[in-house]
Structure formats: structure tokens, C-alpha cells
Structure 1
């Protein structure tokens, strides 16, 4: 859980960053929670998110796996560079200490760690050159994430020495996909730290499961194009996994630009006050 001090998912990932800056890396913490400890973990994560909201701490989105390995959560932050990770960590720790004190912060981290089966930290490099229908305006990405409920991420592990060949495959689908559906955004990122070998992530957002329905690649590429694409896949890739995650606003602290896209969703409602007990007879 200590890594959460640095990165705040997810989602699998929602790329979020301070206004006016460009996302160049995605900082991700992946927590696999013991099923019997899920309630405890969520309660601790809510306290952490609440402290950062109140005291202008770090920003992140949190999502949980709906299709894939259950009780797995992604805490995700977009960053402009590695130095921004330091800034996020300082803001996070300051917010926790201001809310609960240094000793209580340490206890929160220990209690959170005790809920985990395992955890993993990753840094992924955004590949704007391979992404589809991406705009240079960060506000458009904020709005897309803010209005989404689900994230679909396809992870492709590439054979050693075949990275450039695989990038050619992505460009084949990118060109055809942009022509067919200019509104479907696909963010491509590449593993930089925390993974073995070359791993690419292709991410889409949607306000419903229906919005995540993938394109028909054989139709996009045509018969001969798809045959070439399939042959290249056999030569270039070691494996493919696709997961769908769902945003958890109560465990998130996204920047104001994302909240503004759908305030009723991203602003957790305070718990209802408990009813007073009736006087004893």
C-alpha cells in the first residue's frame, strides 16, 4: 500500500494529470486483495481518498476488475514526467499527515498491506504516435474519462526483438479504425518500469458496457489485410489479455477537470447520519 502514496489505477488506467500539462507517463499501482479483507481494504482506501480531497493531496482514479481476476484494483495517475511522481508523493503524504497524523498514517499503510495477496507498481509510457483519435487538448481526455464508467484494456506481450514489427500492426488497425469510427479513442501505452519485456496496453473508455464493444478487425482490414495481420500476430506476440474495469469514485481523487465532467458521479456523498436511538421506556 505504500506505493499508493506515489501513484494513487485503474484502471485499469485513467490517464489523469494537472490542468495544462501533457500526459507522458501513466503511474499505476495494482492491488490484489484477499476476498475476506475486501471490505477492510475499501474502508482504508476511502479514508485515504477523503484525506487527499480535503487537503489538496495527490490525484488519481481507482477502478476494480469486473471481467478478469476479481478483487483486483487499479489506482492510476497520469504524470508529465518522473519528477511529478515525487510531487504527487509529497502532496499525498502531506494530506494524510494533516488528516490523521504521522503515526496514524503508518498504521493505515500497515493495515492496508495486511489486506493484500500481492501488489505491483508500474510506469507506462504513453505512445501518442500509436494512439487512435487522440487530441492534443487535455480537456477532451478529461471529459472522456469523467463521463465514463468502464475501462477496457488489452495487454499484449511482445516477443523479444519484435517491438517495431508489432508497432506496424498497431498502425494498421489505427488507420483503419480512425477511418471507420473517428470518435472512438484508443490510448496506447508501453511498459517502461515494473514489467518483464515489452508489454503494450490498448485502452478504451465507455459510459456503458455497450460502448466498449470492440471493432471488427477482419472487416476493418479486409480479407488480405487480416490474413497479414494474423500472420504478424503469430510472429510478434507471446500472449494477449483483455480486462474490463469499473470506476470507483469513492476510492478516487480525480482532478477537478474530470469531476466537472460528471460531478454527481465523482463526488462521493457523505454517509447519512445515523438515526438517534429511541429513549428507553
Structure 2
């Protein structure tokens, strides 16, 4: 791939190790199921979904110079992702994520993104050395940014001239890392994609629904906020308006990656010129198809 990418996906690119079972689980459960190993991470999940919408994403991340890293980048390249700008580390291993999902949802997860955190600003070098931009001529396209980056690096990105012209689309990696996104409140080009729990953590209050949460995020300085709430009403708010939409009702068979699918489908829909209501509806449909296990999603 030699052409300018359509979008930059910055953040976690790793291996997902996920155990799934239809059984309802509790602490200490030991049940039969399936264990899969798949390319994952917020940035990777978004990029993989964008390819299905005929977009050409480039990854900015760190991957170790180990067998797992070689295999991961080979898989990414085979899917049509641009990997030429990935920082390869001699001393940091390829990151991993492990989750257990039951019939009653996500039971537990552990994200080992320490290499991404330690690599820090080194993953952003292509944005300042001329490959994708410079401080004088910054990248002016969309950027999908994930909250696996450190709080310090997110603060740096919020102030950096390298991102001054970017259309920033931002997602927390998990509720446990949601407050890192406080660094980007007030950035005029940032759109936040969060679930209801994450919105509450960012606003330091509880919300009954997505509409109140989205409005509160805008009141706290977000240029735009999209809030999902599982199978309940979702919302998109700006200082001028607030839209709501109901997701399709589906049987949930998987949850890891659903938020990333929603975000990618929304970005792609807007890049195609769909109006706000249509973009929100299409993103909710894509996420519903994903959690239902629809092989096309």
C-alpha cells in the first residue's frame, strides 16, 4: 500500500486470547467452552472493521520483534492494513489481552498493554518526520485514538501541533482507563465514543441514560460525544443538538470488540457522507450484528 491512508489508527495492536461459553458464570466457575486467539486491541479492531467499509487504515503502534509480533503484522497486512509505520521494538514484547465471556456477558479481562505504554511517543514519529506529516504541515485527516495510551501521552497529543488539524475520534480501552480521556476534553477536533459507565467515570456522576450522559460530556468540554448503553437507547451530542437511537434487539454471543465496531462503522458512515441520524443508526446496526455473531460483521 503506497497511497496516503484514509485514517490513522493509533493505539493497541495485540493478540486477543478469549474464552467464551454460553453458560452463565460467576467467580470460580469452571465450564466448557471455546478459547480463541485473534488479532485485537482497540486500534486493531477499529482498523479491521474500517477495511470492511472499503477504507485504507494505517496502524501507529508498537509490536515486538518476536514471533508473535511477526505473525500479528503478517495477519494485519493480509487483511489490507498499512503496517509500514509500526514501531518495532527489540526489547519490548508484543502485547496481549485475555478475557472470559459467559452467557451473562464479560466476566473478567486483563489487558497487558505495557509495551504500548513504555513505547510512548515513539509510535508517533511518522507524524513529525515527514512520512505522515510534520509540525508545520500536520496530518489533516481522521485519527482513531485509543485510551491504552498513557495519560501523559494523551495530554501531549491534546496540545501537540501534530494533531492540531486532525479529526480525532477517541475511545477508552476500558472503563478502568476511561478517565485518561479527560486530557482530550476541550480539544476542538475530538469526538468521544464511550459507553454509559465510561461517561459516568469521565463526568464523576451516574446517569440513567445515554442522552443525559452525552449532554453532560459536552457540558464538560467535549466537542462531540457518542454514548452507547448496551441494548438501550444510544445518543450523540454536540453543543447544538442531541440525537438518540435504539439499537436492534439481538441475541448476544460475544462482547469484546463491540464498541470498536460501533466506532469504526460510525466513522466510515460519516466519511461516506451519511447524515448524523443515518450514521448513528448504521453504527448501532453494525455493533448489534457483531455481538450477535453475524459472520458478515
Task: Give TM-score, length-normalised by structure 1.
Answer: 0.25
Please give the TM-score of this superposition, normalised by the length of structure 2. Answer: 0.24
User: Which structure dedicates a bigger proportion of its chain to helix?
Assistant: 1
